[in-house]
């Protein structure tokens, strides 16, 4: 669901009080019981607008239904209220109000959580940070500030247009920074520049201490910062675990000088892009095996940080046969002197020396719309390409879609037995959802130059990821799509109990692709707990940080970190 901005939501300071069951305190957009102060830059700092009053939306308000569901229509909340906040101080007040009233709260940013972490029947107050979307340069910290409610596209446009820099974040334009960054974050530029969180200098978080008082804390990566552990936890542990993130500051770790243009990633002037389709009519088991095996083999050989292919990122979307096609979308730095050759060599290897049938992408494939104009590789300005590829995801604009999702980090490519399992389920005739897919996503490169313990993102030697998912519009089809996704995933990882346990080939799962089954021992029969699949050896440290900053477990969801 596309984020709503201040102009569309801030039309009044108090919502219609249609439900008499809501406590009076929730009707007050500026309750008196404010506790704690913002430790960050002042609200009136250059580049930021003065905050507007908080807005409380109650059941019965025309806006309510749009604010209690995210991008996945399976998860709908029924909170007593939604509080739209535009400053750190307003977040502190909202959190304190929930604590004092014994109310369960959750935090919404871009609304792209795959699971029911934000919208579920236990939540009584949703704190919506979407009005907080400022992007500016903080002279005091010599870092770029991005408020947690900003979408990725808002961040990209502001950073690039004003300073010629960016963060190496995800493709989907409407994903919110708050959840994306805290889960690590990655995208087209990550093989060259690392995870989004690898450039995180500081984070502002509203926490609740042992005394039950809400306050804001700024945690930085500085070695002598007493709150450094809280910064570390926000480099990959996922959102909703420690508090409400209100603001991030970004500066590349080895950046020098005081010129803002030299303190963060500078994207290439232009990128070279190719989109292609491999029709299922040309893919028997042997050809399908060659395609998937070639993808894995190529990434195993070309994922060192200094590889000449470090700027190449490629998404191979294995759609169910009912779609008719498999799609391949590839981007590389177009300013490289040999960019055309590097791209051509990559495509040649994937298609088995040109033996596999390749055509223009003339129909939707998975989440992608048709892109026939990119069949002949095309150079586009980086920002133009980012906006185009980020906004052509048909799923982002469809509020009816429901989804189920599973993930894996791969240190090595799929085995032939696993590829056969993929083929078997993708060609099943008892399932006919064209948006049931397995997407293979480039990884590695500079991401793997960081040691596992240096950030909360523990998976630091994988070559690519895979996202197993189904999307569908009708609740009546829930059972069939959930079953298909479980079955293909469990069959691919049958040798390890249905889940990709850390080992020679796989390294667990991605917290930002949250999987609602991972905590169920009847479905996750690997014997490896969910927290190890997500966090590996970093989980005990995360538990101690949780105990230090959220000892009462105020910030929790179905897969949140438990205090030590």
Identify the CATH number of the domain in which residue 352 sits. Answer: 3.40.462.20
Provide the strand spans (E) within 175-295.
Answer: 200-208, 214-220, 244-250, 270-279
Residues 156, 89 share a domain: no
**26 within a domain of the structure (yes/no):** no
Contact yes or no for 145/249 (Cβ under 8 A): yes
On whether both 163 and 277 belong to a single domain, the answer is: no
Q: Which two tokens stand for residue 285?
A: 């088991």
For the chain, 564 residues long, the average pLDDT of each consecutive 10-residue run is 32 32 34 33 53 95 98 98 98 99 97 96 98 98 98 99 99 96 98 99 99 99 99 98 99 96 99 98 98 99 97 98 98 99 98 96 92 98 98 86 98 99 99 98 98 99 99 98 99 99 99 98 98 99 99 98 97
pLDDT at site 50: 76
Task: Specify if 13 maps to a domain.
Answer: no
**Domain-ending residue, one of 106, 128, 150:** 128
Q: How many CA atoms lie within 13 A of 443 on its CB side?
A: 25
Residue 103 belongs to a domain? yes
The C-alpha atoms of residue 303 and residue 446 are separated, in whole angstroms, by 8
Asked whether residue 22 is domain-assigned, the answer is no
* pLDDT for position 26: 38
325 and 420 share one domain: yes
Pairing mode, strands 81-84 and 55-57 = antiparallel
Q: Which domain holds residue 155?
A: 135-266+541-549
- Three-state DSSP at 544 gives helix
What is the pLDDT at residue 47? 54
Number of domains in the chain: 3
CATH code for the domain in which residue 166 is found: 3.30.465.10
Measured in degrees and rounded to the nearest 5, phi and psi for residue 7 equal: -60, -30
Sort strands 244-250 and 378-381 into parallel, antiparallel or unpaired: unpaired
- Same domain assignment for residues 450 and 328: yes
Question: Do 229 and 257 lie in a common domain?
Answer: yes
Residue 44 falls inside a structural domain: no
Q: Are residues 257 and 274 in the same domain?
A: no
Which of 77, 112, 128 terminates a domain? The answer is 128
Domain of 85, CATH number, reads 3.30.43.10
Look at residue 345 and tell me if it is in a domain.
yes
- Considering the domain architecture, whether residues 289 and 436 belong to the same structural domain is answered as yes
The SS3 assignment for 408 reads strand
Strand-pair partners of 204: 218, 247
Q: State whether 416 and 451 are in the same domain.
A: yes
Residue 5 inside a domain? The answer is no
Q: Are both 124 and 194 inside the same structural domain? A: no
Domain final residue, candidates 128, 162, 191: 128
**521 and 386 both lie in a single domain:** yes
Q: Are residues 389 and 444 in the same domain?
A: yes
Same domain, 175 and 313: no
Sign (positive/negative) of CA torsion 58, 61, 65, 69? negative
Q: DSSP letters of 412-477?
A: SPPPHHHHHHHHHHHT-TT---TTEEEEEEE--GGGGGS-GGGSS----S-SEEEEEEEEES-GGG
Is position 561 within any domain?
A: no
């Amino acid at each position: 669901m596309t984020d709503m901005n201040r102009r569309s939501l801030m039309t009044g300071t108090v919502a219609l009080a249609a439900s008499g069951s809501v406590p009076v305190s929730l009707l007050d957009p500026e309750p008196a019981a404010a506790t704690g102060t913002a430790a960050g830059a002042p609200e009136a700092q250059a580049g930021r607008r003065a905050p507007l009053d908080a807005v409380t939306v109650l059941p019965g308000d025309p806006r309510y239904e749009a604010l209690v569901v995210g991008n996945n229509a399976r998860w709908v909340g029924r909170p007593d209220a939604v509080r739209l906040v535009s400053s750190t101080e307003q977040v502190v007040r909202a959190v304190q109000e929930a604590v004092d009233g014994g109310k369960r709260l959750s935090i919404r940013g871009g609304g792209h959580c795959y699971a029911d972490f934000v919208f579920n029947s236990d939540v009584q107050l949703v704190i919506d940070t979407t009005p907080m979307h400022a992007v500016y340069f903080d002279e005091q910290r010599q870092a770029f500030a991005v408020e947690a409610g900003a979408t990725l596209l808002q961040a990209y446009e502001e950073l690039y247009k004003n300073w010629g820099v960016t963060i190496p974040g995800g493709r989907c334009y409407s994903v919110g920074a708050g959840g994306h960054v805290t889960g690590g974050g990655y995208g087209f530029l990550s093989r060259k520049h690392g995870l989004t969180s690898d450039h995180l200098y500081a984070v502002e978080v509203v926490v609740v201490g042992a005394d039950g008082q809400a306050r804001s804390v700024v945690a930085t990566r500085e070695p002598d910062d007493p709150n450094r552990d809280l910064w570390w936890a926000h480099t990959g542990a996922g959102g909703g675990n420690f508090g409400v993130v209100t603001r991030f500051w970004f500066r590349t770790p080895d950046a020098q000088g005081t010129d803002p243009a030299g303190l963060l990633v500078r994207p290439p002037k232009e990128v070279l892009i190719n989109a292609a389709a491999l029709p299922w009519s040309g893919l028997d088991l042997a050809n399908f095996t060659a395609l998937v095996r070639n993808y894995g083999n190529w990434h195993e050989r070309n994922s060192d940080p200094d590889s000449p292919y470090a700027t190449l990122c490629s998404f191979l979307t294995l759609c169910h046969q009912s779609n008719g096609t498999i799609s391949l979308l590839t981007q590389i730095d177009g300013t490289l002197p040999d960019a055309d050759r590097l791209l051509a060599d990559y495509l040649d290897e994937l298609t088995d020396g040109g033996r596999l049938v390749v055509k223009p992408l003339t129909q939707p494939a998975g989440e992608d719309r048709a892109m026939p104009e990119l069949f002949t590789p095309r150079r586009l300005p980086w920002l133009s390409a980012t906006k185009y590829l980020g906004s052509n995801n048909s799923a982002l604009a469809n509020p009816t879609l429901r989804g189920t999702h599973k993930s894996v980090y791969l240190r090595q490519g799929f085995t032939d037995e696993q590829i056969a399992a993929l083929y078997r389920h993708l060609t099943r005739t008892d399932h006919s959802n064209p948006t049931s897919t397995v997407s293979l996503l480039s990884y590695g490169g500079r991401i793997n130059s960081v040691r596992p313990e240096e950030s909360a993102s523990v998976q630091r030697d994988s070559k690519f990821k895979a996202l197993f998912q189904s999307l569908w519009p009708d609740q009546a089809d829930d059972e069939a799509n959930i079953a298909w996704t479980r079955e293909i995933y469990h069959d691919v990882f049958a040798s390890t109990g249905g889940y990709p346990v850390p080992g020679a080939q796989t390294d667990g799962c991605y917290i930002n692709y949250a999987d609602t089954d991972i905590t169920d021992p009847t479905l996750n029969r690997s014997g490896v707990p969910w927290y190890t699949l997500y966090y590996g050896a970093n989980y005990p440290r995360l538990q101690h940080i949780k105990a230090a900053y959220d000892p009462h477990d105020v910030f929790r969801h179905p897969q949140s970190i438990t205090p030590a």
